[in-house]
Amino acid sequence: MAWHVAARADEVPENEVIGVVVDGEPVALYKLGGVLYATSNVCTHEFALLSDGYVEGDCIECPLHQARFHIATGEVRAAPASEPIKTFPVKSEGGQILIELPEV
């Protein structure tokens, strides 16, 4: 596991999602109630970027077919997806957002 810089801390607005690519991995970064979260940015149902979707409460809704995932755990909350999305450890340090990715 290694920590990677994903974005500047001020780049993620409250209750929003942004898409970044970290070490080749498409990652969605969220801020909910001041807390940062990071998940895979690709829906597990069909290819779509979750960062083009919509944050509803503690879930992210895919723009393609409206599958919904729990941001903190990656669990599926609404079909048509059935596989969870990956989540990554995330922290804010020195004005930067860092996420931890498995070593390839």
Partner 1 sequence: MARDETFVIVGAGQAGGRAAEAMRAVGFAGRVVLIGEEPSLPYERPPLSKAVLTGDRPASTVELLPPGFYAQKGIEALTGTRVEEIDAAARTARLSSGRTLGFTKLLLATGGRVRTLPFALPGMPGIFYLRTLAESLALGAALRKAKRLVVIGGGFLGLEVAASARKLGLAVTLLELKPHLLDRAMAPEIAHFIAEIHRRKGVELHLGANVIGIAGKEKLAAVELAQGTRVDADLAVVAVGIAPNSELAAAAGATIGNGIVVDEFGRTSLPDIYAAGDVADHPNPILGHRLRLESWQNAQNQAIAAARAMCGVGTPYAEVPWFWSDQYEFNIQMVGAPLKTDEIVVRGEPASGRFLCFNLAGNVVVGATAFNMGGEIRFARKLVELKARVERRILSDGTKKLRDVVAALSPSPA
- Interacting residues with partner 1 (CB under 8 A): 46, 48, 52-54, 56, 61-66, 79-80, 82
Query: What is the rounded end-to-end Cα distance, in angstroms, of the chain?
Result: 9
Closest distance of CB 9 from partner 1, Å: 24
| In the complex, minimum distance from the CB of residue 6 to partner 1, in angstroms, rounded to a whole number | 22
To partner 1, the closest distance from the beta carbon of 103 in angstroms equals 29
Angle at 17 between CA 9 and CA 72, to 5 degrees: 90
Nearer Cβ to partner 1 (38/43): 43
Q: What residue spans of the chain are helical by DSSP H?
A: none
Rounded Cα gap, residues 95 and 79, in angstroms = 37
